[in-house]
Amino acid sequence: MLTRREFVLSMGALAGASGALACPAPLSNGKKHAVLMLNAACGNPDIPNVFEPALLHVDIGDSVTFLATDAGHNSASKKGMIPEGAAAWNGGLDEELTVEFTVPGIYGHICLPHYDWGMVGLIVVGRDLHNLQTAKKIRHPGSARKVFRNLLKELENQT
């Protein structure tokens, strides 16, 4: 019997992903998206504890399901890194969690057990980056500081 991770990765391979540890393209049907919670980066097992994709763009009203692909992870919104008026979330460990995004802006999210190690991500809802400067001011521990800084730079380069 395949584990959930093996199944998701095999589906990505069937869809044309290359490389022995390649991740599937972000799962999406236009309104529903998925973020994998993984023990190691796809294609690079030397990078532990990651969200795939780490940076995701969605439309207002879309939902994102955080898939407990590997054990020991969760997704929680990062205080100060979500738009004003948006609902915060805090999924349980090993819990598949779906969040609907109705307020435009940038949402930072973390894995609580691996936050210090840099298991963080960004979701951009719509094209509104009004809270970018606020998100950039939030302080983070350990490797999360560098990973968030790189994701925010990548986001700025896309605009």
Binding residue positions for Cu cation: 73, 111, 114, 119
* Known binding-site residue numbers: 73, 111, 114, 119
What is the spatial distance between Cα 74 and Cα 84, in angstroms, rounded to a whole number? 23
With beta carbons less than 8 A apart as the criterion, state whether 56 and 121 touch.
yes
Residues 6 or more apart whose CB falls under 8 angstroms from that of 47 comprise 40, 41
Residues 6 or more apart whose CB falls under 8 angstroms from that of 6 comprise none
DSSP class of 30: S
Contacts of range 26-33, beta carbons closer than 8 Å, 24 or more positions apart: 26/52, 26/53, 26/56, 30/62, 31/59, 31/61, 31/62, 31/63, 32/62, 32/63, 32/64, 32/65, 33/58, 33/62, 33/63, 33/64, 33/65
